Amino acid sequence: MNAAELVRQHLIDPEICIRCNTCEETCPVHAIQHDARNYVVRFDTCENCRACIPPCPTGAIENYRRVARSNPYAIEDQFSWDELPAEAEPSPGETAELPADVVRITEIATAGQGGAALPPWSAAHPYEGLHTIARPAIATVTGNYRLTEDRASSDVHHIVLDFGRTAFPVLEGQSLGVIAPGLDAAGKAHHVRLYSIASPRNGERPGYNNLALTVKRVAADRAGRPVHGVCSNYLCDLKRGDQVKVVGPYGTSFLMPNHPGSSLMMICTGTGSAPMRAMTERRRRRAALGEGGRLMLFFGARAPAELPYFGPLMKLPKDFIDINLAFSRASDRPKRYVQDLIRDRGEDVANMLRDPESYIYVCGLKGMETGVNEAFAAVCGAHGMTWDAVLDGLKREARFHVETY
Ligand code: NAP
């Protein structure tokens, strides 16, 4: 075989992939598909445009193997994998280098808009993927509290994990993966489920090697049909002293700025509040050092009793954080979504959009993205701006970050 026949095949790492479907939704040529277990990439369809790279929350998407163009991994192979195959050693006479045209195409794609999403310029450097499925970190549960009131329809838990003397350094906005014990219906280990870290970088308790997760017990699917969420039920039922297998941390772009005067606009629904709690608490701990600019929060839940962290949130001083709560099913008021409140607060939202030091974070239900974008467009229209142009600028400067599932 001569070197000109070698190519880079795009593959998805089944060990890290959380099956969130963002890559399949994003791929403009439908090269990505999935079965009950794995997400795979069709070699003959993938154009290496890298549109699928930025939305992937774990980085599972960004994997390549050098293969002979005439003999790539078939999707049937990829469906059967529990882990990626090792990079093949070049055979005698074959160069390990890719041909110049393949390398050049890859470089062009990487340098373009499809490259990995960037963090704010002043974000701290994140660690990623320190613990893998083969070598997970073992954390001990030191707390498990129900956050939603007893009368609430949803059961959301605040779960504190302690890593003891194992390094698990995190930043606000990062996630980790949990491996639930046991086997799935096919007799294989459960795949990893991803949760945002709800604590600041220096610990749920400052100076401790611990962090918290915000987990909603899944008892129904999106259509309301009863299902038993494997990992959420496992986590919500944990007792103090139980041990949990954890992988990660993950996430290199949904990170907060650290420079003085930088402002945060946080827009979230339900348990999408986890990273917002981490960022808010970081700013609260650093307030005395003058690190923070303005904090503005838009938080949507069905009713006050369903809103995770409602009590502590309401105790924060008004001059520290501007809180806007949208309740969609409260018995005593009309239905409101976060996007309605963005419109209501148009003047202040417009001022933040004009402020070059403001950073925007959106986290929660996938469905909120469209509504939030429309609300920003309406606010911009009413205040002499064009949302498309504003959004372009925000993205160029890594000031707009979205994590929805
Ligand atoms: P939820 O309780 O189902 O919904 C929260 C609120 O959002 C409700 O008021 C709901 O209203 C409203 N809502 C529904 N559709 C909306 C739309 N199109 N635009 C704006 N608001 C809308 O939320 P959840 O079950 O906690 O889900 C949170 C989401 O965050 C999940 O998708 C989860 O995967 C994701 N997430 C979780 C974490 C974590 O660490 N746990 C981290 C990141 C993201 P109605 O239902 O009354 O219509």
pLDDT digits (tens), the chain, 405 positions: 445 578 889 999 988 888 888 899 999 999 999 998 899 999 999 998 989 988 787 788 989 999 989 999 999 999 999 889 998 766 655 554 544 444 433 333 333 344 568 999 999 999 998 998 889 999 999 999 999 999 898 999 999 999 999 999 999 999 999 999 999 888 888 888 999 999 999 999 999 999 999 999 999 888 889 899 999 999 999 999 999 999 999 999 999 999 999 999 999 999 999 999 999 999 999 988 877 799 999 999 999 999 988 788 889 999 999 999 999 999 999 999 999 999 999 999 999 999 999 999 999 999 999 999 999 999 999 999 999 999 999 999 999 999 998
Q: Report the alpha-carbon distance of residue 95 to residue 74 in Å, rounded.
A: 23
Pairing of strands 156-162, 175-179: unpaired
Among 236, 343, 362, 365, the mutation site with the greatest number of ligand 1 atoms within 8 A of its Cβ is: 365
Let me know the angle formed at the C-alpha of 274 by 269 and 278, rounded to the nearest 5 degrees.
130
- Whether residue 363 has its Cβ less than 6 Å from ligand 1: yes
Instruction: List helix spans (H) across 118-229.
Output: none
Question: According to the model, what pLDDT value does residue 134 have?
Answer: 84
Q: Report the alpha-carbon distance of residue 123 to residue 100 in Å, rounded.
A: 35
Residues contacting 339, CB < 8 A, separation 6+: 368, 371, 372, 374, 375
- Whether residue 274 has its Cβ less than 6 Å from ligand 1: yes
Residues contacting 334, CB < 8 A, separation 6+: none
Report CA(309)–ligand 1 centroid distance (Å): 15
Question: According to the model, what pLDDT value does residue 158 have?
Answer: 97
Among 269, 276, 369, 372, the mutation site with the greatest number of ligand 1 atoms within 8 A of its Cβ is: 269
Q: For residues 266-296, b (16+ Cβ closer than 10 Å) or e, as one string?
A: bbbbbbbbbbbbbbbbbbbeeeeeebbbbbb
Of all protein residues, the one whose alpha carbon is nearest to atom 11 of ligand 1 is 328
Domain with CATH 3.40.50.80 in the chain: 262-404
**Tokens encoding 121:** 């310029």
- Whether residue 193 has its Cβ less than 6 Å from ligand 1: no
Report CA(372)–ligand 1 centroid distance (Å): 13
8 A C-beta contact, residue 31 and residue 45: yes
Tell me the whole-structure pTM to 2 decimals: 0.86
Domain with CATH 3.30.70.20 in the chain: 6-111
User: For 137-250, which CATH class?
Assistant: mainly beta
Domain with CATH 2.40.30.10 in the chain: 137-250
Decide if domain 262-404 falls under CATH 3.40.50.80. yes
- Whether residue 364 has its Cβ less than 6 Å from ligand 1: yes
Pairing of strands 32-34, 39-41: antiparallel
Question: According to the model, what pLDDT value does residue 116 have?
Answer: 66
Q: For residues 303-315, b (16+ Cβ closer than 10 Å) or e, as one string?
A: bebbbbbbeebee
CATH code given to domain 6-111? 3.30.70.20
